[in-house]
């Protein structure tokens, strides 16, 4: 019995050590990418990883924290990282928005070859290399959900390319939002004024 308890304790220690090391690697990666990118743009335009508080140990707690972080920071690009062969790489991007249609339109305007399809609670934009729309070998796959979450998947080069244009896409979305707001306000103000005398 003592041997089993020692093995379990050893496994728990290894799991905790692996979790700490992974967290330290992610923090180190975040520190290395601070400052500016190779174009001299501020790091604020770069995707960031979600930082989890110490109390978020379970998968469910981490998921809830991530969802709250995304909702509290709309239109901010976050990256999920994985460790592969001792190297930390981007696995996907995720962001939350209240402007789903504006983002869909902006992405479709930016990329020439997009295959669009509906899915259960949202849709998918598959960015293809050419007009043949080869969805088996996409450049990027962008899944969006009706609650406002966008998930982008692709190889690291494709993700890096999207990350570079994200600030421009975001500016176009914000411009559309502002123009829509101005148009609504203008039409309300310019409507006929009817007065009644009683």
Q: What is the mean pLDDT of residues 22-47?
A: 49
33 DSSP assignment: T
Q: What's the CA angle centered on 57, arms 20 and 89, to 5 degrees?
A: 55
Q: How much is the mean pLDDT over the chain?
A: 79
Do residues 28 and 119 share a domain? Answer: no
Note whether residue 37 is domain-resident.
Answer: no
Q: What total of structural domains would you count in the chain?
A: 2
Do residues 91 and 163 share a domain? Answer: yes
Distance of CA 67 to the CA centre of its chain: 11
Note whether residue 196 is domain-resident.
Answer: no
Do residues 28 and 49 share a domain? Answer: no
The per-residue pLDDT for range 72-120, each reduced to its tens digit, is 999 999 999 888 899 988 999 999 999 999 999 999 999 999 999 998 8
User: What percent of the chain is predicted at pLDDT more than 90?
Assistant: 51
User: 86-118 burial, b for 16+ CB within 10 Å, e for fewer?
Assistant: eebebebbbbbbebbebbbebbeeebeebeeee
Do residues 85 and 136 share a domain? Answer: yes
d(CA 13, CA 57): 14
Do residues 10 and 84 share a domain? Answer: no
Pairing between β-strand 78-84 and β-strand 48-49 as defined by DSSP bridges: parallel
Return the structure tokens found at 174: 């914000």
Domain residues for 131? 44-189
Do residues 17 and 102 share a domain? Answer: no
Note whether residue 145 is domain-resident.
Answer: yes
d(CA 64, CA 31): 25
Residue 142 bridge partners (DSSP): 125, 152
Do residues 152 and 94 share a domain? Answer: yes
Residue 118 bridge partners (DSSP): 123
**Backbone φ, ψ for residue 65 (5° rounding):** -65, -40
Q: Which range among 39-43, 59-63, 131-135 has the greatest average pLDDT? A: 59-63
d(CA 9, CA 3): 10
Place of tokens 């994985």: 82
């Amino acid at each position: 019995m003592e041997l089993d308890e020692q093995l379990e304790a050893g496994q728990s220690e290894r799991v905790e050590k692996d979790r700490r090391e992974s967290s330290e690697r992610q923090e180190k990666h975040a520190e290395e990418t601070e400052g500016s990118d190779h174009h001299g743009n501020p790091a604020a335009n770069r995707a960031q990883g979600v930082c989890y508080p110490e109390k978020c140990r379970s998968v469910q707690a981490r998921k809830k924290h991530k969802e709250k972080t995304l909702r509290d920071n709309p239109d901010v690009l976050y990256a999920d990282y994985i460790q592969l062969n001792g190297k930390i790489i981007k696995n996907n991007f995720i962001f939350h928005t209240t402007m789903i249609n504006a983002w869909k339109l902006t992405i479709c305007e930016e990329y020439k070859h997009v295959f669009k399809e509906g899915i259960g609670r949202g849709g998918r934009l598959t960015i293809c290399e050419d007009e043949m729309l080869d969805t088996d070998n996409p450049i990027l796959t962008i899944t969006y959900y009706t609650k406002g979450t966008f998930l982008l998947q692709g190889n690291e080069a494709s993700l890096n390319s999207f990350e570079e244009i994200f600030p421009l896409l975001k500016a176009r979305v914000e411009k559309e939002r502002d123009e829509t707001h101005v148009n609504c306000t203008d039409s309300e103000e310019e409507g006929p004024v009817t007065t009644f005398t009683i």
